[in-house]
Structure 1
């Protein structure tokens, strides 16, 4: 009997036996367990409800339901539970499949019918505290009780959200940094020569805005020049500092690859800028001061298997300027730790695309903070300041028409893409705008030799074929296999020590040209199925052994857990290759910046094969050709941001492979909305 059939019999018959009987805590827990058996809830979600009942046997049934649903929401990336919405439209909040609706309604008909009744039950529970009451370490927090939209939090996320908002408000509203405006204007004019007939230079505006505050956000899509702007901001800070030789600068990103790309982009931009400023400013000295970019885990001194950090308010980071790239990937808990570890005087600059996928863990911090970035909402003081210091006139549509938020004065959206163009950019813009018709038309117009292409329907073997041979001029993994097979000659070379490093770099470069990106992990259209299929294909073609085992020459792996001792971090990708040492033992080679880093396969435990990876894991990376694979089983995971993020990983070619022709339209029509109280904190509605 299937799990769903088991659920049909037990849940519906349980309530049909006594239609008028009220539910009890025990019957609710039984239903929650059945839902977990059927995969509608996690065991962890039910465990919270069970624990609450153990601690308070008198707890009302709806409190147990609310607790389980809160845990489920947190597991899906939300930081809190919108109680009124849950009571009125539970299926819309929980995102369950239509076939699960009868089970949900069967229980809901027995629970209190109004939000006020649920609130009363929650307030009566000693394990729940109202946000305005004294803190006695209750595990649940109920906020905005007197509003139309009360929120229920797990205590940990209430604390994180409250702290993030407090830090940002403090930094956004603090007295402006003292700066020589005339000198800043002169340097900005040198860094950003005026283009004939150009409109507002938002990159220049972003530098001016970030210069005056201790917190700022620079957001924009691919190719808008976020790191280019950040490099000029660093040069501006260096040029206007009273003691530039003492300026302590740090670069960071959520993943090792994103951190390396940030460092490389900043260095390249600074070296190019040196040609512009000549001898007037020694930017080489600034490059030396920046140092290596680090992952956020490394920067903050993450302690394995704990939620504790080496740096915090009591032991702050030794930094004056911190630039964090790919900020959309930074989850709520990480942002809380980052802000807590910053010394009060330090500047924090967040870079990121607000429209990309939010973090895997709870929270959508950058998306929340950039909610109004498109509108600008600059007050008169900001408009005047930008005109004085940057010589730029912010267009009237971006002026505030009422009370301007403090955060908006420190947020700038870059609006012109200088690198990202053509059909890939057009498709990304159409998807981001929710324009299903335009997106489908763009794909329908293109063939296999065009930059964008779609194949929908048909067998998954089409994906396997694409992974090997690509399409048109867009490569698959064939160049990687060809580079890999050169080992036969390298192994026999008399100067193997000389040739080996070049070969390793060639293999890594070839592998990085193409990637399969998936919406889900399981199934033949998911990461697991496609990794197995590509591995079998390579074995059949003789590229890797017929029975490869766990480790084999050419196995690409992604690190899934930070390991500072080995120098590898979550998201890093390496390839298992023979070393030049006698016997040629396998080592995994990582390209970190421009340096090769090798680790014995015996020491790498927390890794997974990476011919295919989730879209989430691809953030911070770009590939010459990207294939986005959409599974019909993706469910609520399939959304607009996922498709947009997949498209924007592609430099030259993008291919969409969908199990069902309807999946693209469904995804574009479903923007991801994470429930959060962060903006309500920032606007003063929620208070600790």
Structure 2
């Protein structure tokens, strides 16, 4: 670079752009290095053009970098054809942001590309209220309100989204509903995994509950209620158990009893909860280390995934997940 500047001064960029064959005039630059310089310049020029385009249409530098990293040289083409892809492909860019960019690109509010993207947006908004899907009539009303477009356009967009498999049509009882494909598959996956995990025998030898119950009451100095004793019996012979109830009904006492009994039998235990605060409470209540789900599954921010999974399972016989109703469907 220093030799290039010495040879051509301020005109160096014009030389690379308009007369790249002159690079060979500089000592030490052969055909291979000249080709590398020209290719690198072309890449940088493409990046500059894309950044200028994005800035001209209201995209800040941080988002522009993420857009370029996602689409490369196709960034301008993608955004011109369908800026709503940004909401689907890039974390941190939602429908509202994509919609603002689309308006600056001159896309009409009634354009089908916008209404179709708005279907996913409406379902995503419903997710915030805990829904995995919505009845068809409710979704149509919500989409029409959010997008401010006629019902006929929403109907057409829904048909196209279902045909493409982006949205799944199903029934809940007798009610026709629509789901985002990812959530629909996730729910079916949860049901299938629960069926699979629940079958078979627990990974510990048979434990005599009638001997274990007096033992744990003696160890803790607490008398278990009949429902708690029945839950302990069920836990000792089940592969999956859900313990539910409001505050103060004895869930923590029950979990502690199960952990103490199984721990005495050498069962490998792991405890987790969705949040750091819940994990800390669990540690204090049980005396055993509890971690967040993400820490337990060894979340890798670079790969944006977990190191633990079917290929690399957790080292435990019993996994206790506290506050599991707080865990969302994809997780």
TM range (shorter): 0.5 to 0.7
Question: Secondary structure of 1:331's partner?
Answer: coil
User: Residues 255-280 of structure 1: CA distance to partner in whole angstroms, max 9, x if unpaired?
Assistant: 2232222122113xxxxxxxxxxxxx
Decide whether aligned partners of structure 1 residues 296 and 47 sit closer, same or farther in structure 2, where only a CA change above 3 A counts.
farther
Q: Distance in 2 between matches of 1:224 and 1:146?
A: 32
Residue of structure 1 equivalent to 2:196: 170
Find the partner of 1:104 among 145, 155, 170: 145
Structure 2 SS opposite 1:250: strand
Equivalent of 1:298 in 292, 295, 299:
295
- Tell me the distance in 1 between the aligned counterparts of 2:173 and 2:270: 42
Deviation at 1:317, TM superposition (A): 0.8
Specify the structure having the higher radius of gyration (Cα). 2
Q: Which residue of 1 aligns with 2:270?
A: 250
CA distance in 2, matches of 1:257, 1:148: 40
CA distance 1:296–1:126, shift in 2 (3 Å): closer
In the TM superposition, 1:436-585 aligns within 5 A as none
TM-score by length of 2: 0.56
Check conservation: 1:253, 1:294, Cα contact below 8 A: yes
Shift of 1:312: 0.9
CA shift in 2, pair 1:333/1:306, >3 Å: farther
Question: RMSD in angstroms over aligned alpha carbons?
Answer: 4.0
Q: Which residue of structure 2 aligns with residue 72 of structure 1? A: 125
1:266 partnered with 2:291: no
Q: Output aligned runs, 1:72-221, within 5 Å.
A: 72-87=125-140, 90=141, 104=145, 107=148, 110-112=150-152, 118=155, 122-125=158-161, 128-129=164-165, 140-144=166-170, 148-172=174-198, 174-177=199-202, 180=206, 183-192=208-217, 201-221=226-246
Structure with the higher strand share, 1 or 2: 1
- C-alpha displacement of 1:300: 0.5
Alpha-carbon distance change, 202 to 147 in structure 1, aligned in 2, over 3 angstroms: closer
**Partners of 1:146 and 1:208 in 2: CA distance:** 34
How far apart, CA to CA, are the structure 1 residues paired with 2:328 and 2:237?
Answer: 26
Where relative contact order (Cα < 8 A, 6+ residues apart) is larger, the structure is 1
Over 3 Å counting, the alpha-carbon distance change for 1:77 and 1:188 in structure 2 is same
Measure the CA separation in 1 of the matches of 2:243 and 2:113: 47
The C-alpha deviation readout for 1:17-45, integer Å capped at 9, x for no partner, is: xxxxxxxxxxxx9xxxxxxxxxxx96158
Q: C-alpha separation between the residues in 2 aligned to 1:201 and 1:141?
A: 47
How far apart are the structure 2 equivalents of 1:235 and 1:171? 23
Secondary structure at the aligned position of 2:167 is classed as strand
Q: Kindly indicate whether the alpha-carbon contact (under 8 Å) linking 1:45 and 1:71 is maintained by their aligned counterparts in 2.
A: no
| Aligned-pair CA distance for 1:315 | 0.9
Equivalents in 1 of 2:147, 2:250: separation in Å?
53
> Aligned partners of 1:262 and 1:199: how far apart in 2?
20
Aligned: 1:314 with 2:319:
no
CA shift digits 1:513-566 (9 cap, x unpaired)? xxxxxxxxxxxxxxxxxxxxxxxxxxxxxxxxxxxxxxxxxxxxxxxxxxxxxx
Say if 1:122 and 1:128, in contact at 8 Å, map to a contact too. Answer: no
Tell whether the 8 Å contact from 2:122 to 2:146 is kept in structure 1 after alignment. no
Query: How many residue pairs end up in the alignment?
Result: 229
Contact 1:84 1:148 in 2 (8 A): no
| Deviation at residue 299 of structure 1 after TM alignment | 0.4
Query: Which deviations, in whole Å up to 9, do the C-alpha atoms of 1:408-443 show, x marking residues without a partner?
Result: xxxxxxxxxxxxxxxxxxxxxxxxxxxxxxxxxxxx
What is the CA-CA distance between 1:294 and the residue it aligns to? 1.4
Q: Secondary structure in 1 aligned to 2:243? A: strand
Structure 2: runs of 5 or more not aligned: 1-81, 83-93
List per-residue Cα deviations over 1:170-210 (Å, max 9, x = no partner): 223x13437536x22211234348xxxx9962211221222
Deviation at 1:125, TM superposition (A): 4.6
The equivalent of 1:235 in structure 2 is 260
| Cα distance in structure 1, aligned partners of 2:102 and 2:248 | 47
CA contact under 8 A between 2:161 and 2:167: conserved in structure 1?
A: no
